[in-house]
Chain A
């Protein structure tokens, strides 16, 4: 099993550009989440999904869109990148119920 994979690992964008961060898992997990991590702020939930076709907002959803058409994939879209979105982004997945979250390796995004 590859676990949770994220692409790309690094990305530099200009203000106003759009892009999609990819996340995939091969563990047949129902739940998937996107977090951003900024220095001193911990992990903040952006969006999460409890199954294909079902998504909901987390703490900091503004400027981001998600969709979940399959169990395996949960892409995060930045609609119009801003310098405030410079961060490290982690995708995580977990089995339904109260279980450990498996994190992907992260994507380091810089918006100039």
Chain B
């Protein structure tokens, strides 16, 4: 079940903050976040696990509301390098490890 991301696109000035949301209709075990620059492969940002454990970047924060099957990625004091498309990937409770469903992405553009 593909998770839903919002917003579809965000335009920021350097130094501004952004929040990207990811929600699923299924009970989730984990949420993964990736960033993709144009013409490149997705790059891992972080994983949020059921129970509160996080793995990944220390400079990027995220939350995972297990009861609502929602996750949010917080980008504070944005830099030009933050530009790209952000994807969340979710693993449903009961589904096989390694089986991720990705959202359609949120395109973030940071202007100087």
Give A31's nearest chain B residue, CB to CB.
B98
Indicate if the CB atoms of B104 and A99 lie closer than 8 Å. no
Q: Decide: B99 and A42 in contact? CB cutoff 8 A.
A: no
A35 to chain B: closest residue by CB: B102
Interface residues, chain A, with chain B CB atoms under 8 Å away: 30-31, 33, 35, 40-45, 48-50, 56, 58-59, 90, 94, 96-106
Partner of A103, one of B29, B42, B98, B101: B42
Contacts of B110 in A (CB 8 A): none
Contact pick for B41, options A30, A41, A50, A105, CB 8 Å:
A105
Cross-chain contact of B104 among A40, A49, A96 (Cβ < 8 A)? A40
CB pair A106–B41 under 8 Å, yes or no, is yes
Chain B residues within CB distance 8 Å of chain A: 2, 29-30, 32, 34, 40-44, 47, 49, 55-56, 87, 89, 91, 96-105
- Not counting A43-B89, A44-B102, A94-B98, a sample of 16 additional A-B residue pairs whose C-beta atoms are within 8 angstroms of each other reads A33-B100, A42-B2, A43-B87, A45-B101, A50-B96, A50-B97, A56-B96, A98-B30, A99-B47, A99-B55, A100-B32, A100-B44, A100-B55, A101-B34, A101-B42, A103-B43
